[in-house]
Amino acid sequence: MKILATLFLAIVCTFQTFADTVSDKEKDALVKLYYATNGAKWKKKWDLSLSVSTWYGVKTENNKVIAIDLSDNNLEGNLPDELADLVNLVEIDLHKNKLKGELPVNIGKLKQLEVLSLFDNEIQGQLPSSIYKITTLKILLLNNNKLSGNLSNEIKNCSSLENLSLFDNNFEGMIPNELEKLHHLSEMNLSYNKFTGTVSKNLALLDPLNMTMFDENGNPFLLEINVEKETTIVTEN
């Protein structure tokens, strides 16, 4: 009996070590993420010889990867394009790391994504146009990075957006009026950027820093409130 019990435990351990419930494509995408962000120096590393279900910060459901939470885990490097192959992701939380480079241009493939939290990194460049195609997105936290360029009026397509935080970046140009069409938007911070022009009172009220921007010399100023045309933002719980 002891021999049989030992043999059974050995078989179970072997199965848990080598069996993976997620697809090869999803596993490959995670491995690419590991190597692209210097996984060997993570605070909590993955043992790539074990099942994906054992990997820190990876949540699976029905044999699909639905969430990644590697916040404050010493990730450094660029996010790989293969991240967008994790098409079942609902949440990505990689805040407070050392990520650089630009966001994957194909990030819009994540059609089920609800939370994208990448604040407190060093990500740069413009927002990829495909990000405005994620209609399921509810929380977009990109503050404290080095992002630049304009905020497109295509933001109106992110109709589920509830929380938008872009403060402390290098965004410029006009703040799109289309933000007022996001009827679920209840939290927003666009301050500490280089936005110019005017902004509606309704949008200014959503920003706790009252739309404080920096001019070309780095001096802070408040965006002018456009009082001629105001629209009511309706929030839904």
- Domain residue spans of the chain: 21-149, 171-237
* Cα distance between residue 128 and residue 52, in whole Å: 29
Q: Digits of tens for pLDDT over the chain (237 positions)?
A: 445 444 444 433 443 444 578 999 999 999 999 999 999 999 999 999 999 999 999 999 999 999 999 999 999 999 999 999 999 999 999 999 999 999 999 999 999 999 999 999 999 999 999 999 999 999 999 999 999 999 999 999 999 999 999 999 999 999 999 999 999 999 999 999 999 999 999 999 999 999 999 999 999 999 999 876 544 444 444
Query: How are the residues of the chain apportioned to helix, strand and coil, as percentages rounded to the nearest 5?
Result: 25, 25, 50
Nearest to 122 by CA among 78, 171, 82, 181: 78
Report which of 50, 116, 37 is spatially closest to residue 82, judged by C-alpha positions: 37
Q: HSE of 105 in the Cβ direction (CA atoms, 13 Å)? A: 0
pLDDT value, residue 19: 54
- Side-chain half-sphere exposure of 220, counting CA atoms within 13 A: 7
Q: How far is CA 48 from CA 8, 28, 37, 38, 56, in A?
A: 24, 11, 14, 13, 11
Query: 167: which 2 tokens?
Result: 């403060």
Question: What span, in angstroms and rounded, lies between the C-alpha atoms of 158 and 104?
Answer: 18
Q: Which two tokens stand for residue 115?
A: 């939370």
pLDDT of residue 227: 75
Using DSSP's 3-state secondary structure scheme, residue 126 falls into coil
Select from 231, 143, 183, 203 the least CA-distant residue to 223. Answer: 203
Cβ burial 52-68 (10 Å sphere, 16+ → b, else e):
beebeebebeeebbebb
CATH number of this structure's domain 21-149 = 3.80.10.10
| Cβ atoms of residues 51 and 23 within 8 Å | no
Residue 96 CA to chain centroid, in angstroms? 12
Q: What's the Cα-to-Cα distance from 67 to each of 134, 162, 226, rounded to whole Å?
A: 16, 19, 40
Element housing 222 (H / E): strand 220-222
